């Protein structure tokens, strides 16, 4: 989807013509901001394993945090515009899209959808402006693809809740002032809004990642954490509510992965045109053009898949299995082609000043998180056959 005055990534099927002026303006404004203020920061932060926190209030000002939610000072964008936001963020770096995705889809969405009016008024405006950061506590060390096996528990003590347990692989954990935590209770799985400064909450940053290095990943520990009765999300109906949040996030990933693929494609097109080999541009060789044509075709297919998914979501007709198909297909496409682009850059491709290997490394995580590639294939298979194949 090529916007005016932007780099030449493919829009072979004139998808731009299907977008409203407002949608195109949202994407172009964000791309210009990220090109100017974010892209110069990412290599250093990736190398240092740090998130560029200076961008958080600026992302809030741009209205990209919880962008498709309404009320409480939130932008209320349509879901195609929101998808374009996710695409532009990941075009810069998967860590930026992960930050915004967790903030909006995994923290603000459950509060917006399942929270009390008091919870909404307290947290949604601050989270939307970037004045507070949130994280989402579902995954555990022994849970992974089986979130129902969680061991974290909350006990109803009459006048308060008592929370104990641990969560792992938590994006934004060390940045967060609030966590949406899912725990087992005698009445089933419930969600809780937990300020991270609460006594008994410990947050530990996970280090040594070789992927998503410009993103904060943490462990959360809860030791006899006393919570008021008002901490529970009153409208959250068991594990189904937690999974509905993941559906929102996976929708954004289906768009975001396209941005990573487009970034790699842009880089390798420019490189192969400038790189002279045997006295002619590398782009003039048949094998190179074959690879570029394949990548452009793959990106175009992913664009169409995401656009239709966004239309279905705006019409209220989106099914979670359709989200699984798009997340699985588009991330697999992006990772496969990031590897091809890295190869086409030759030895230069392993250097941090080039983007393709950074995207490739990031996409290894995106391929796995929010439902692994295999799990999403099984979700689609279950929808086709009516026979669940999990476990």
pLDDT at 150 over 80: yes
Distance (Å, rounded) from C-alpha 334 to C-alpha 315? 27
Topology adopted by domain 239-385? Butyryl-CoA Dehydrogenase, subunit A; domain 3 (1.20.140)
pLDDT in tens, 20-56: 999 999 999 999 999 999 999 999 999 999 999 999 9
pLDDT at 7 over 50: no
On average, the pLDDT of the chain sits at 95
CATH of the domain spanning 134-237:
2.40.110.10
Ordered by start, the domain boundaries in the chain are: 15-129, 134-237, 239-385
Q: Go through 320-352 and write b for each residue having 16 or more CB atoms within 10 A of its CB, e for each that does not.
A: ebbbbbbbbbbbbbbbbbbbbbbebbeeebeee
Spot the catalytic one: 49, 267, 332, 370. Answer: 370
For the segment 60-77, the average pLDDT, to the nearest whole number, is 97
For the segment 45-70, the average pLDDT, to the nearest whole number, is 97
Return the CATH number of 15-129, one of 1.10.540.10, 2.160.20.10, 3.30.70.940, 1.20.210.10.
1.10.540.10
pLDDT at 273 over 60: yes
- Going by their DSSP bridges, the two strands 134-137 and 178-185 should be labelled as parallel
Distance (Å, rounded) from C-alpha 340 to C-alpha 64? 31
Instruction: State yes or no: is 113 an active-site residue.
Output: no
pLDDT in tens, 275-314: 999 999 999 999 999 999 999 999 999 999 999 999 999 9
* Single pTM value for the model: 0.95
pLDDT at 391 over 70: no
């Amino acid at each position: 989807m090529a916007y005016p005055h932007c780099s030449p990534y493919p829009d072979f099927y004139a998808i731009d013509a299907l977008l409203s002026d407002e949608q195109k303006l949202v994407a172009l404004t964000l791309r210009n901001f990220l090109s100017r203020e974010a892209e110069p920061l990412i290599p250093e932060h990736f190398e240092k394993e740090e998130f560029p926190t200076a961008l958080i209030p600026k992302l809030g000002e741009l209205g990209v945090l919880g962008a498709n939610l309404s009320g409480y000072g939130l932008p209320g964008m349509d879901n195609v515009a929101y998808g374009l936001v996710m695409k532009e963020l990941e075009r810069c770096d998967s860590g930026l899209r992960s930050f915004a995705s967790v903030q909006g889809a995994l923290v603000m969405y459950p509060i917006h959808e399942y929270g009390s009016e008091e919870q909404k008024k307290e947290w949604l405006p601050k989270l939307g402006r970037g004045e507070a950061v949130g994280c989402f506590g579902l995954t555990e060390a022994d849970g992974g693809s089986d979130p129902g096996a969680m061991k974290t528990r909350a006990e109803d003590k009459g006048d308060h809740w008592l929370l104990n347990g641990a969560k792992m692989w938590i994006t934004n954990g060390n940045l967060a002032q609030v966590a949406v935590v899912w725990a087992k209770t005698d009445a089933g799985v419930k969600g809780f809004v937990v300020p991270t400064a609460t006594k008994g909450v410990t947050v530990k940053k996970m280090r040594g990642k070789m992927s998503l290095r410009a993103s904060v990943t943490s462990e959360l520990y809860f030791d006899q954490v006393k919570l008021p009765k008002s901490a529970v999300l009153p409208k959250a109906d068991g594990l189904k509510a937690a999974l509905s949040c993941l559906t929102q996030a996976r929708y954004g990933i289906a768009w975001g992965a396209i941005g990573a693929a487009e970034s790699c494609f842009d880089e390798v097109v420019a490189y192969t045109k400038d790189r002279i080999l045997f006295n002619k541009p590398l782009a003039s060789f048949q094998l190179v053009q074959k690879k570029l044509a394949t990548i452009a075709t793959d990106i175009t297919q992913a664009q169409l898949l995401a656009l239709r998914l966004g239309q279905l979501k705006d019409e209220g007709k989106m099914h979670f299995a359709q989200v699984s198909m798009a997340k699985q297909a588009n991330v697999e496409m992006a990772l496969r082609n990031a590897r091809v682009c890295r190869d086409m850059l030759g030895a230069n491709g392993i250097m941090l000043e080039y983007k393709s290997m950074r995207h490739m490394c990031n996409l290894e995580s995106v391929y796995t998180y929010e439902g692994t590639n295999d799990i999403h294939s099984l979700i689609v298979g279950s929808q086709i056959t009516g026979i669940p194949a999990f476990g």
